[in-house]
Amino acid sequence: MRYYRSDDGGSISLIAADDSAAYDLSGTEAEPTSFLELASAASLTDGTIDDVARGLIDEAPAVELESVEDDLVRPIDPEEVWAAGVTYSISQEARQEEGGLAESYLEAYEGDRPEVYFKATPSRTVGPNDRVGIRGDSDWDAPEPEMTIVLYDEEIVGFTIGNDMCSRSIERENLLYLPQSKIYAKNCAIGPCIATSETVGDPLDLEMHMSIERDGETVFEEGTSTAELVRTCEELVDYYTRYNEVPEASVLLTGTSIMVPDDVSLEEDDVIHIEIEDIGVLTNTVEQL
């Protein structure tokens, strides 16, 4: 199933949807309002999160997803957001002309240990239809579409879409500036929902697509597949959790699958659409900070 959260003005609803219908689980006697409540309940049983949801559906009112699309908020409020880097060949190849950066990125791509770094706190993370930020001291800014792992108690419980916003000009200037290029206000978007493994199937076999619209015109559009990911989800999670104080709920972005060219940089009011098969479409508008 896919799990959405909507806010119609102060009242949060948790919506479970399959390919045929959607249900407001918050309208049941249990009144869950977060995906984590389902994950917690599932952890106490031998069942899955979808099993817990199916146990509530008979008493849950049906809803039309189209009616709540404008009210969608982050499907999860992760205590921390982390990210992996250089997990697709395109990410490493894009740095081949960047002097001293090229060797470091090649080593991260080919080495046993992946690049895993802290990305955001909840206050820096936005949801579907929210505005993502670009820094005022950067002159080349790019969205980075990423299949994103949702973790509960260090276990993979679902997948969502992430946008790892990046100030490329700052990153390119000096590798030690990477935190500044990645960590700032409104630097990450996740959504529109969480899809469980039952729905996603093989997370390394999903079609992906990203487009950037400006004044009604498409200025960039490209597709790829998570089959190009050179690390498994389990491998990335292993390195993220290794010797780490991992919170109960977190998300891990799995790496940039589509790179915009040098002559494309985000501008105020650009609209970014990121689509991943079996999960959905994450849409955000750009804000100049």
In tens, the pLDDT along 225-242 reads 999 999 999 999 999 999
The model's confidence at residue 10, banded by pLDDT at 50, 70 and 90, is confident
Distance CA 95, CA 102 (A): 5
Say if residue 81's pLDDT is above 60.
yes
Question: Residue 124's closest CA among 273, 265, 240, 251?
Answer: 251
Q: 194 near 49, Cβ under 8 Å? A: no
Beta bridge partners of 81: 120, 251
Pair 90, 238: CB distance under 8 Å: no
Structure token digits, residue 120: 């955001």
Query: pLDDT category, 108, cuts 50, 70, 90?
Result: low
Confidence at 80, pLDDT banded by 50, 70, 90: very high
**The predicted structure's pLDDT at residue 98:** 54
Average pLDDT of 250-263? Answer: 94
What's the whole-model pTM score? 0.94
> Rounded to the nearest 5°, which phi and psi values hold at 282?
-105, 120
Angle at which helices 35-43 and 49-57 pack, to 10 degrees? 110
Q: How far apart are CA 273 and CA 86, in angstroms?
A: 22
- Could you report the per-residue pLDDT of 204-215, keeping only the tens digit for each? 999 999 999 999
Neighbours of 98 (CB within 10 A): 14
